[in-house]
A and B are shown apart, each in its own frame.
Chain A
Amino acid sequence: MRKNLASVFQLLGEQSLRTATLPKAYTDLLGRRIFLFLLTVQGLGAFALITAGVILKKSRVARNVIWPRIRQEIVRAGVGLMPMFLFLALALGFLVVGQTVSWLTRFGANQYIGTVMVIVVVRELGPLLAAMLVLTRVGTANVIELGTARATGEVEALEALGIDPVHYLIMPRVVGMAVGVFALTIYLIIGALVSGYLWAFLQDVPLTPGDYFKQLAESLGWLDFALLALKTIAFGFFIAIVTCYHGLAQPLRLTEVSQVAVRAVTQGIIVCVLIDALFILLYLVA
């Protein structure tokens, strides 16, 4: 295990690339950036594979230790964020309805509010927003906790006790975040759909609740449910991978934890957007 991890983190030998003096030519700088990008992709990919392997292989090992930890992480990345998500659901319903109602009335099309809600909230904004919030609230904490654990030698301590650090530290976080993002997205969507009607009602849009929910039901296909589940789980999984990778790969110095946290959040956002783009392709093809 150690060897695998070490070789993955070795890719962060890029550290020397990051701190090297600026090259004289712009093409060199571009080349260096691309090289760094590729190294990061390679490192993240390898780390994701190792983690997926551990999740599959060791799902039954030391359940009395790992399952409570998974439960803790679900509480942290899911249940703990519920109050904020309720507020967000209200706001999301308001902003989508508030923006679209005036436009749709102009064309006499405000009976399509339900369809707009499905496209905007269910397919795009809901999952992405949930992922971003979990990334900033829980992902950053991940980087800092793991970075500190690494800098203070806790990772070596785990290995010395014959406990696989990926199994003990990473797997609960990955599972917790995947479940957390998935569940929060569902609540966010339901909340936003309900509050959307509320705001429409307050704006005197002539739409009965029956019509509104019928519209929603008609614009939702089975594909929406399947892709929503896949997408949110992918978001959660990769947010956890990116943040844990940067936390653990952090080369043993406490001063670098904050820089690494910033880098992890940036990369987390990029990864989410890339996954989202991939799913838009799927929607278009299907």
Chain B
Amino acid sequence: MSEAPNIKVLEMRDVASGTMHDPEKVVVEGVNWTVTAGEFWVIAGEQRSGKTDFLMTMAGLMAPVKGSYRFFGNEVRMFDETRLAERLRVGFVFEGGQLFHHLTLGQNVALPLQYHRNLTDGAAEREAEPLLELMELSPLTGALPAGVSRNWLKRAGLARALMLKPDVLLLDNPLRGLDTRHARWWLDFLDGLCRGHEWLNGRPVTVVATADNLRPWRSEHRRFALLQDKGFRSLGLWNEMESAADPAARELLGAPHSD
């Protein structure tokens, strides 16, 4: 974390975010938020509070309805063709993995590399092998997504997002629907990424994840924020949040682990 101090990765000033279905409808507004390199953020919100749409705005998949959004210091509306290099600095992990149903898990993970470097099938799969190994996905390499459990689909989604070695990782509700053992693995692995992982040659990744329950995320080095009633509130570190006695935060903290 010490390698890249005070580089502002994401900077939002009065940003409002629309939805994928209806880009004009505002789900979150008035966001003022700065994420520095190497930080680990968890954004909590109940279902339909706009977590996914907010994350998509952050990933440049959707233009903010208003406000200014800077990504590594550059103003962003949406990452189109001309900004491919910036787009590839962001890894996006979808809630259900969102794998391509006609490709095997191995092909899914290798696809981004294969497409952007124009590799043959064999070469791409060889490049993906160490990552699949690392994520314990090797036995499932040849399986189609339809026959694989949700735990592993999500993990393959994470592997696919990491294939191009991004600087920023955005995760949509990564713990939802996971077994306890898998959830534990995710928390440890994401921490590892944030500290600097061997797959990324020890370069720390800035992580932003959403959650509908904060309890499993408890840790002293993660930062927390809350999406509620169309508003965004930064709650800070865990101990700051506990002492703040914020009713909404308390609810998300106190809620029993539903999944």
Chain A interface (Cβ within 8 Å of chain B)? 1-3, 6, 61-65, 68, 148-149, 152-154, 156-164, 168, 251-252
- Tell me whether B112 is interfacial, beta carbon within 8 Å: yes
| A168 contacts across to B, CB distance below 8 A | 115
Chain A, residue nearest B91 (CB): A160
| A160 contacts across to B, CB distance below 8 A | 59, 61, 90, 92, 94, 161
Contact of B100 among A1, A64, A157, A162 (CB under 8 A): A157
| B88 contacts across to A, CB distance below 8 A | 162
CB distance from B160 to the nearest CB of A (A): 7
| B115 contacts across to A, CB distance below 8 A | 62, 65, 161-163, 168
Q: Which of B198-240 contact A (CB under 8 A)?
A: none
Whether A149 contacts B101 by the Cβ 8 Å rule is yes
Q: A1-B81, A62-B116 known; A156 and B56 CB under 8 Å? A: yes
Q: A62-B116, A160-B61 known; A153 and B94 CB under 8 Å? A: yes
Whether A157 contacts B118 by the Cβ 8 Å rule is no
Whether A68 contacts B61 by the Cβ 8 Å rule is no
CA distance A213 to B92 in the complex (A): 63
CA distance A143 to B217 in the complex (A): 41
Whether B112 contacts A156 by the Cβ 8 Å rule is no
The total of chain B residues at the interface (CB under 8 A) is 35
Whether A156 contacts B80 by the Cβ 8 Å rule is no
CA distance A225 to B121 in the complex (A): 39
Whether B114 contacts A2 by the Cβ 8 Å rule is no
**Contact sample, A vs B, 21 pairs, CB 8 Å cutoff:** A2-B62, A62-B114, A64-B120, A149-B101, A152-B96, A156-B61, A156-B94, A156-B98, A157-B94, A157-B98, A157-B99, A158-B100, A159-B61, A160-B161, A161-B160, A162-B84, A162-B87, A162-B88, A162-B115, A163-B112, A168-B115
CA distance A252 to B98 in the complex (A): 14
Could you list 11 further interchain pairs (A-B, Cβ under 8 angstroms) beyond the known A154-B101, A162-B112, A163-B115? A6-B23, A62-B118, A65-B111, A148-B101, A152-B96, A157-B100, A160-B59, A160-B92, A161-B112, A162-B79, A168-B115
Whether A164 contacts B98 by the Cβ 8 Å rule is no
Q: Which 7 A-B residue pairs are closest in the complex by CB-CB distance?
A: A160-B92, A157-B98, A161-B112, A153-B98, A62-B115, A162-B87, A65-B115
Whether A251 contacts B21 by the Cβ 8 Å rule is yes
| A161 contacts across to B, CB distance below 8 A | 111-112, 115, 160, 164
- Tell me whether B10 is interfacial, beta carbon within 8 Å: no
- Tell me whether B135 is interfacial, beta carbon within 8 Å: no
- Tell me whether B20 is interfacial, beta carbon within 8 Å: yes
Whether B80 contacts A2 by the Cβ 8 Å rule is yes
| A62 contacts across to B, CB distance below 8 A | 114-116, 118
| B98 contacts across to A, CB distance below 8 A | 152-154, 156-157
- Tell me whether B78 is interfacial, beta carbon within 8 Å: yes
Chain A, residue nearest B23 (CB): A6
- Tell me whether B119 is interfacial, beta carbon within 8 Å: yes
Contact of B111 among A63, A156, A163 (CB under 8 A): A163
| B101 contacts across to A, CB distance below 8 A | 148-149, 152, 154
CA distance A1 to B20 in the complex (A): 15
Whether B114 contacts A65 by the Cβ 8 Å rule is yes
Chain A, residue nearest B110 (CB): A65
Chain B, residue nearest A252 (CB): B21
Whether B121 contacts A68 by the Cβ 8 Å rule is yes
Whether A164 contacts B81 by the Cβ 8 Å rule is yes
CA distance A251 to B114 in the complex (A): 30
CB distance from A136 to the nearest CB of B (A): 21
CA distance A252 to B21 in the complex (A): 8
Contact of A65 among B23, B92, B99, B118 (CB under 8 A): B118
| B100 contacts across to A, CB distance below 8 A | 149, 154, 157-158
CA distance A61 to B111 in the complex (A): 14
Whether B121 contacts A64 by the Cβ 8 Å rule is yes
Whether B114 contacts A64 by the Cβ 8 Å rule is yes
| A3 contacts across to B, CB distance below 8 A | 63, 78, 80
CA distance A252 to B100 in the complex (A): 16
| A157 contacts across to B, CB distance below 8 A | 92, 94, 98-100
Chain A, residue nearest B59 (CB): A160
Whether B21 contacts A153 by the Cβ 8 Å rule is no
| B20 contacts across to A, CB distance below 8 A | 156, 252
Chain A, residue nearest B114 (CB): A65
| A6 contacts across to B, CB distance below 8 A | 23
CA distance A164 to B87 in the complex (A): 12
Q: Please, what's the 1-or-0 string for B13-26, where 1 marks a CB less than 8 Å from any CB in chain A?
A: 00000001101000
Chain B, residue nearest A72 (CB): B102
Q: Which of B90-142 contact A (CB under 8 A)?
A: 90, 92, 94, 96, 98-101, 111-112, 114-116, 118-121
CA distance A12 to B236 in the complex (A): 43
Chain A, residue nearest B123 (CB): A64
